[in-house]
Structure 1
């Protein structure tokens, strides 16, 4: 017992000689709490746990039996959990203090890497992850760190390979990649602009352009999709572009309008005769008219706080949620998805098919295209269904004028008696 106690005593002596990092950490915690909105004191969840951890850290500084270093790391973990720019900023500040106190602390380097990762500072995060792994006796990092390290390396590889395809057009992006402090918030829009410029200059038929679009799609998916299943989805299986294509391949598809004349019709047998029935946004079923199945439900997020909308309780085989930006899309999905109400959930790679250069790349449909047109255009682009029909969209006004014009140009047959427009 003597040697461990002596070692602990010496460690405490070393920590006592570093009051600055602890004082700085308390100041950061105080600034974070002061910046909270007045109602935050009654909040629940991550912020409450963070506040409690700050209290425990403050108490540990005065209690000789407590370890302030462990309490400091615990505050950092709770700040990561709270998330957001302020939470991640606090976690980073505390991690820097912890690394200053104990340079070989695995927890400090792991915390710093995760905070930098959350802030989009990929290169710096990778450096911290590697420092953390080097301190481990077996060199095997925690699964979350191993996963993020792999993802960041793959994203970097996508960028480097993309720039190499068109060196002249990619010079600006290449210079940004050389800057170790370049963030995802800076790189992503520059990459987007680079892809658009190359497609406009060389055309989508160029094999190098197709390779570029594939790299762009991989980069976006790696940045927007959590590779670990979300426990809140209740067993729902995420699907990407390839997964959706596989689900619709070889199946006849109809997109059904949310309209009174469809509900009041006798088209039940006609609609249920398709292999895959698509419905949009808020819909009501009247089996005699609309049919009873919903194989794919497409919904578009609207407004400034789309996560405040009603939960998606209608049973569907596939739930396809359109929306931008990705942060709002993620929050809406997490708060409105009902576990067990769908078998598959389209991931973030499918959240904006019309404007995404990796898919259609058509940004001229306006700020609010209809959900029906978006899902129709996506299914047409996937080109995996032998029959693709609209039911209930023949009357004017159910699609935007330009959308209706596109459908009219592509239509192969129109049957007014069954309100059906065929695109195949």
Structure 2
């Protein structure tokens, strides 16, 4: 009888602990809201909504407060400020205490620590998350950050090993909890300057130190790419894209509920090239199953922090400006093996690029659907170019819709189709 009673006692202890831990999570949320200013940007508004949903879940038998608590952490990460990152970390720590084998809690904890610059602790959390997957594939952003942090640590360890006595204080600093990249980087720079000055730039160890320091700085400024070839994806420019669409029938499918709920899936899949935009969802009966070309536009001040583009596609075109943000986003969000071809920089802003269309008047952020449609129309290589799901007002901006209807050769409302060829 001893073992069954002991097990029952542990279960009851766990059940008694959970309300206190959820209360801790609610207190963290309350403290965050109390310190929040009157203004609320969209990401912070979503965070506030998530906190409200978590509060409601605590008194709802049908809701799972654990998932609601994790959602608060995700929205805090999305908001991205230091206060929000500290909230995400507190939520992650609480979640890991409630369910110690929760993959979501350890992933969230790693991302929060990483955002706060506590790379060594973040790496430990990423490794724990990967272990809990039991051989599964980690999320792309976790795989990318794990690779980056490991390579950064390897650069640091190798640099400090070149001059062990001089590097001892910095090594001690790395072993302290809460040490951040913002603290380590200037100390490392001072160490490098001192060693080069003492031994001279011609010394082999000093040259190696400079090489390692350069690698470390690059990895701090931008994440490494575990697979720089993206699983064999081929970059293509304007000519390459035209060659891929030449002679093929093309349809552009709207991300709309009436398309998903239709019976057009089989007909859509009959086109040679099916084009989808942004965050699309597949419902085979209505939307079809194939994606020959996926176009996405970068939005917001930090578009590189968005979710990875994991949907399978033959061609992926990423539209965005300025060039630096576009480069960073493509490095961080493209997934190896998720596409066969990737549009290069010559295709990143086709409407406004004077080397391509060079058209004004579409506004600072034209819809992705119109951008890719106008590009395909400009290439003039497809015998059939149709839009499906764009017959209703509001799917395109007024001037975009006017352009489409001025060039439409046929409109079939029963099949939500507009033909441009």
1:339 aligned onto 2:320? yes
> Which position in structure 2 is the counterpart of 1:182?
179
Residue pairs, 1:106-185, within 5 angstroms: 106-185=103-182
Pairwise CA distance, 1:120:
1.6
Change (3 A) 1:154 1:66: same
Residue pairs, 1:4-403, within 5 angstroms: 15=15, 17-40=17-40, 43-44=41-42, 46-227=43-224, 339=320, 342=323
Change (3 A) 1:97 1:196: same
TM-score with structure 2 setting the length = 0.50
CA contact under 8 A between 2:320 and 2:326: conserved in structure 1? no
Change (3 A) 1:333 1:198: farther
TM-score with structure 1 setting the length = 0.50
Pairwise CA distance, 1:16:
6.1
Pairwise CA distance, 1:148:
1.2
CA contact under 8 A between 2:113 and 2:122: conserved in structure 1? yes
CA contact under 8 A between 2:107 and 2:125: conserved in structure 1? yes
- In the comparison of the two structures, how many residue pairs are matched? 233
Pairwise CA distance, 1:333:
11
CA distance in 2 between counterparts of 1:156 and 1:49 reads 35
RMSD of aligned Cα (Å): 3.1
CA contact under 8 A between 2:304 and 2:325: conserved in structure 1? no
CA contact under 8 A between 1:95 and 1:109: conserved in structure 2? yes
1:116-171 Cα shifts (integer Å, max 9, x gaps)? 11112222212211211111132432221121111111111101100111223212
Pairwise CA distance, 1:33:
1.1
Pairwise CA distance, 1:192:
1.0
The alignment partner of 1:174 has SS state of helix
The alignment partner of 2:101 has SS state of coil
CA contact under 8 A between 1:15 and 1:101: conserved in structure 2? no
Change (3 A) 1:105 1:342: closer
Change (3 A) 1:12 1:112: farther
Pairwise CA distance, 1:178:
3.1
The alignment partner of 2:201 has SS state of coil
Pairwise CA distance, 1:202:
2.2
The alignment partner of 2:44 has SS state of helix
CA contact under 8 A between 1:32 and 1:90: conserved in structure 2? yes
CA contact under 8 A between 1:116 and 1:124: conserved in structure 2? yes
CA distance in 2 between counterparts of 1:127 and 1:333 reads 24
The alignment partner of 2:164 has SS state of coil
The alignment partner of 1:31 has SS state of helix
Change (3 A) 1:176 1:342: closer
CA distance in 2 between counterparts of 1:139 and 1:339 reads 33
Pairwise CA distance, 1:13:
10
Change (3 A) 1:17 1:345: closer
> Which position in structure 2 is the counterpart of 1:300?
none
CA distance in 1 between counterparts of 2:324 and 2:67 reads 42
The alignment partner of 2:39 has SS state of helix
The alignment partner of 2:166 has SS state of coil
CA distance in 2 between counterparts of 1:172 and 1:140 reads 38
